[in-house]
């Protein structure tokens, strides 16, 4: 018996995995929007890099990030390589939380995203998105040294690794230390304002200074373009060293 629970309220459709944890939410009238603040924050790397051509998505959920990417980035996106462990979740992409799966740019693989990344070629992806939690808040191997090593290898030189992590669990700091060992100081943290979520943005190459006037101006431009507070996110960002 599946533990998937779907509810509808006030114009939103929400997915749960048999618990109170929200796995994803979609505004039914505007499905391309990111309805949850932390999901919006997972786009914050746009402050530093242009829209990506090739993206690896670890975890499908309600398909919020892929739907947003196809809408917001348009023809810039050449490939969305999505890996989801659960077949019943993938089936939601056909009905309850639809993705344009007939789009040749969208590839959905049933499998373990931590293992699948090892089969991808080096220097392949401009962007790696990681947001995989089960109904009990577990992520398994997606915070392991092996996964981080494979993700680092699969990223292009100027690619970014973006992961949703929780700051209130014991594995948080060890996970940051593993990332720091691979990416050095090229790791930024964006804590959510109302939850324990922290967006971790890592790059093989150094980020521009967070105090850069050009970067601040770009964040303001992104805010106008995407109707999301990129400027506020930039203000809240900090170096990984602040949490080690």
Number of H helices, E strands in the chain: 8, 11
In a domain, 15, yes or no: no
Q: What is the number of structural domains in the chain?
A: 1
CB 192 within 8 A of CB 34: no
CATH number where 178 lies: 3.40.50.150
In a domain, 1, yes or no: no
**Does residue 228 carry a pLDDT above 70?**
yes
Taking CA 69 as the corner, what is the angle to CA 63 and CA 72, rounded to the nearest 5 degrees? Answer: 135
**pTM over cut 0.75:** yes
Question: What range does the domain containing 147 cover?
Answer: 32-236
> How many Cβ atoms sit within 10 Å of the Cβ of residue 156?
17
In a domain, 244, yes or no: no
Q: CA-CA distance, 191 to 209, in Å (whole number)?
A: 18
What per-residue confidence (pLDDT) applies to 78?
98
Burial class (CB in 10 A: 0-12, 13-18, 19+), 161: buried
- Tallying the residues shown for the chain, one arrives at 244
pLDDT, one tens digit per residue, over 35-93 is 999 999 999 999 999 999 999 999 998 999 999 999 999 999 999 999 999 999 999 88
In a domain, 193, yes or no: yes
Residue 206 main-chain phi, psi, to 5 deg: -60, 145
- pLDDT average, residue stretch 128-150: 81
In a domain, 202, yes or no: yes
| Helix/strand/coil for 93 | coil
CA 140 to chain CA centroid, nearest Å? 16
In a domain, 164, yes or no: yes
CA dihedral defined by 47, 50, 53, 57, rounded to 10 degrees? -10
In a domain, 55, yes or no: yes
In a domain, 241, yes or no: no
What per-residue confidence (pLDDT) applies to 119?
97
pLDDT, one tens digit per residue, over 146-179 is 999 999 999 999 999 999 998 888 899 999 999 9
Element (H, E) at 180: helix 172-183
Q: Where are the beta strands (DSSP E) in the chain?
A: 4-9, 12-17, 22-27, 54-58, 79-84, 106-110, 125-130, 155-166, 187-191, 197-203, 238-239
Identify which of 26, 83, 85 has the alpha carbon closest to the alpha carbon of residue 55.
83
């Amino acid at each position: 018996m599946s533990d998937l629970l779907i509810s509808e309220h006030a114009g939103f459709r929400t997915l749960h995995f048999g618990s109170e944890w929200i796995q994803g939410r979609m505004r039914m009238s505007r499905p391309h929007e990111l309805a949850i603040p932390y999901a919006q924050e997972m786009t914050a790397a746009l402050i530093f890099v242009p829209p990506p051509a090739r993206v690896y998505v670890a975890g499908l959920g309600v398909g919020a990030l892929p739907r947003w990417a196809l809408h917001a980035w348009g023809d810039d996106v050449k490939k969305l390589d999505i890996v989801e462990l659960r077949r019943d979740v993938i089936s939601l992409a056909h009905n309850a939380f639809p993705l344009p799966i007939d789009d040749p740019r969208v590839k959905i693989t049933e499998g373990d995203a931590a293992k699948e990344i090892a089969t991808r070629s080096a220097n392949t992806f401009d962007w790696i998105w990681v947001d995989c939690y089960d109904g009990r808040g577990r992520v398994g191997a997606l915070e392991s040294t092996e996964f981080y090593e494979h993700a680092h290898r699969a990223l292009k030189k100027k690619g970014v690794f973006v992961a949703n992590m929780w700051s209130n669990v014991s594995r948080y700091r060890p996970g940051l230390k593993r990332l720091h060992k691979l990416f050095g100081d090229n790791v930024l943290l964006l804590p959510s304002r109302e939850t324990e979520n922290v967006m971790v943005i890592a790059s093989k190459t150094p980020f521009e200074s967070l105090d850069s006037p050009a970067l601040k101006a770009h964040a303001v431009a992104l805010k106008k373009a995407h109707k999301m507070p990129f400027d506020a996110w930039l203000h809240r960002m900090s170096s990984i060293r602040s949490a080690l």
